[in-house]
Structures are given as C-alpha cells and as structure tokens.
Structure 1
Amino acid sequence: MSVTIYHNNRCSTSRAVLEMIRESGIEPVIVEYMKTPPTHEQMLGLLLAMDLPPRAVLRTKEKVYHSLHLDDETKTDRQILDALLAHPELIERPIVVSEKGVAICRPKTKVLDLL
C-alpha cells in the first residue's frame, strides 16, 4: 500500500502518526510541507479528496492566522487557500493520503482508517 504523509516534525501528533504508519509495516512518502509546501493544484486535490473547504484545514492558533484576519468570515475560499499556500504553518496536520482515502489525522487514531 502506498501512503503519503504531509508531515511537520515539530508536531507531536504528526510524529505519532508517522510512527503508527511505520509500525503497520508501511514506509510512507514523507512530504515535509513546511520545507516544500504543496502547490495550488496539490492543495486543491487534497481538499477535494477530503471534501473540505480551505477554512476547515486552518490552524487557528497560529499568529499569522490572526495577523491576516483569517477569522473574518467574509474571506473567500480563494483568499484562505492563498494564505495556506503562502503560510504552510496554517495547514492542519498531519494529512495522510492512502488508497483508502485522505484525512487530517487528528486525533492520531484516524490514521488507522487509512491503513
């Protein structure tokens, strides 16, 4: 089975999900999205696969969330998507992609549905 994890090593949940994937016997493709942010097309693909709007993957406790006034409900999906791409720290993590689907694995046990 092929598995990809959009991973941030500074995040304990992301590290735990990576460990769970490996413990299942799978060596995933690791995308360190803070170093290599997804392209516009990749992010759109992830959102479509999860059936989520851009706002649903925003990390609302990040400083940049407040400085960009992303809590403003009049912000369009395009504005939110642009913010996610320009500031990858705003992307909720980890996102896991497998043949069984795509999900934000919070709580970490959500990864089990994808393995």
Structure 2
Amino acid sequence: MITIYHNARCSKSRSTCELVSTTYNKANELVEVVEYLKTPLTVDQLKALHAMLGGPLLDMVRTNEAEYSALGLDANSATDNQLYEAIASHPVLLQRPIVVRNGRAAIGRPPENIAVLFDRVA
C-alpha cells in the first residue's frame, strides 16, 4: 500500500500524486490519498510518520506558514512535543506531500524525491 499525505491546492502535491500513478507505481499497488487538512493526523501518527522519514523533525514542518509564527515557534527552541502538537492542531504546518511505502517515507519536494521509495534514483 502507498499512502500519500496530500493537499490538493499544492502543485508539488498534485505532481507527486501524478508521478506515483503514472511512473512509479508499476505494480499497481493500492494507493490511499489522505487529505490531511480535512483529516488531520494525531500526535501518535505524526511520530510514526517522522520515524519513517528519518531526519530532523523540523524537515516535516512548514516553518514559512503564518501559523508557525503565530504560535511563537522557533526552530532553535521548539521541542519535538511542541512541534507535534502544533502540526496536529494546525495541519497546514505539515510539509507536503509525504509519500509512505513499505515502512519508509519521503517528502515530495521536489516530487522526484519519492523515487527512493521505489528503489529508483531521481
């Protein structure tokens, strides 16, 4: 199963969905598209997603969003728990798109970044 955390208003997210359906999903795996703005992730789901992504938690946070500043978050001082809670409460802060496959995840910025989930190099 392939899961895509998607925002239909985002061109990168739409491009990533297109890449999955036309290029990378040759085995016709089931694809679940989660519109995370309509169905926000819980803190536990965000922690699991972060574990699959690896790397710093801040990589999955859209720090340029107004909500990030409005919440008083700072990249140098925000704790992981503060960031998880912020994303759960304000899903617009979740980086997009994120594709999950076989227990691994990648952020599709640029969309070609997801190639690693399909054992390809972009």
| TM norm. shorter chain > 0.5 | yes
Number of equivalences: 114
Task: Indicate the RMSD between aligned Cα atoms, in angstroms.
Answer: 1.6
User: Does the 8 Å contact 1:6/1:93 carry over to 2?
Assistant: yes
- Tell whether 2:37 aligns with 1:34: yes
Instruction: Provide the identity percentage.
Output: 39
User: Whole-Å Cα distance in 1 between the matches of residues 75 and 13 of structure 2?
Assistant: 28
Letter in 1 for 2:105: V
Q: Structure 2: give runs of 5+ residues left out of the alignment.
A: none
Q: Which residue of 2 aligns with 1:8?
A: 7
Letter in 2 for 1:45: A
User: Whole-Å Cα distance in 1 between the matches of residues 16 and 45 of structure 2?
Assistant: 21
Give 3-state SS (helix, strand or coil) of 1:80's partner. Answer: helix
Residues 7 and 58 (structure 1), Cα distance of their counterparts in 2 relative to 1, 3 Å cut:
same
Give 3-state SS (helix, strand or coil) of 2:33's partner. Answer: strand
- Tell whether 2:57 aligns with 1:51: no
User: Does the 8 Å contact 2:52/2:103 carry over to 1?
Assistant: no
- Tell whether 2:100 aligns with 1:97: yes
User: Whole-Å Cα distance in 2 between the matches of residues 72 and 44 of structure 1?
Assistant: 18
User: Whole-Å Cα distance in 2 between the matches of residues 84 and 103 of structure 1?
Assistant: 17
Letter in 2 for 1:5: I
Q: Which residue of 2 aligns with 1:108?
A: 111
Q: Structure 1: give runs of 5+ residues left out of the alignment.
A: none
TM-score between both structures, scaled by the size of structure 1:
0.90
Higher mean alpha-carbon deviation, 79-88 vs 105-114, is at 105-114
